[in-house]
Amino acid sequence: MPARSLASSDLRPDLTEVLLEIYRVNDAMNQLVLAKLDPRAWRANPLGKPGSGRTIAAMFAHLHNSRLVWLKNSAPHLKCPAPLDPDRCTRRQAAAAHKKSAAQCLRMLTDALSASRKRKVTKFSRGAWAPVWPAGATMFAYMFMHEAHHRGQILMLAHQLGYRLLNRDPGIWHWNKLWKEAGLTTRPR
């Protein structure tokens, strides 16, 4: 019997399932940063000219509120959680809001990446400022990269302000652990 090719469909995981797992881990990373962040860093002003940048609180609010725009424009049938006020939200409120918006974005992505003819999410709108795209893998990539970009900004700002998150615990790089914490029974694949 000939050896099976690694390209054989029964050896490759379903790409849609993997993308959805990655999105769940993406939020687990956000939750980890929220949990490990020194409370003093939450509203600390960025370096430079006053008012020229967002606080970490404002960045987390922006991430959540961006998800709400995507949901309202691309999946209006899904209920949106309340927006976050970047000037008033607490870390606890941000963590709870992120869990809710991540769950709804996961529902949106599940439908958008589906091959079903009955899917409801067929377009991805990032807001009035940008053209509408077909829903699918590019939608996932944009959503993931948007969050990764701002998570990097958050980590850099915390570091610049003297609040290092990853000195002893490189948690966002421990994907196997994050996979389990996100409730997944698989491992990164």
Q: Walk me through the domains of the chain, giving residue ranges and CATH numbers.
A: 15-42+52-181 (1.20.120.450)
Q: Residues of the chain with pLDDT > 90: what percent?
A: 67
Q: In angstroms, rounded to a whole number, what is the distance separating the alpha carbons of residues 89 and 57? A: 7
Task: With a cut of 70, say whether residue 7 has pLDDT above it.
Answer: no
Where b means 16+ CB within 10 Å and e means fewer, 53-76 reads ebbbbbbbbbbbbbbbebbebbbe
> What is the rounded average pLDDT for all residues in the chain?
88
**pTM for this structure?**
0.87
- What stretches of the chain show up as alpha helix (H) in DSSP? 15-36, 56-74, 91-112, 137-160, 175-181
The pLDDT tens digits of the residues spanning 128-172 come to: 889 999 999 999 999 999 999 999 999 999 989 998 776 555 577
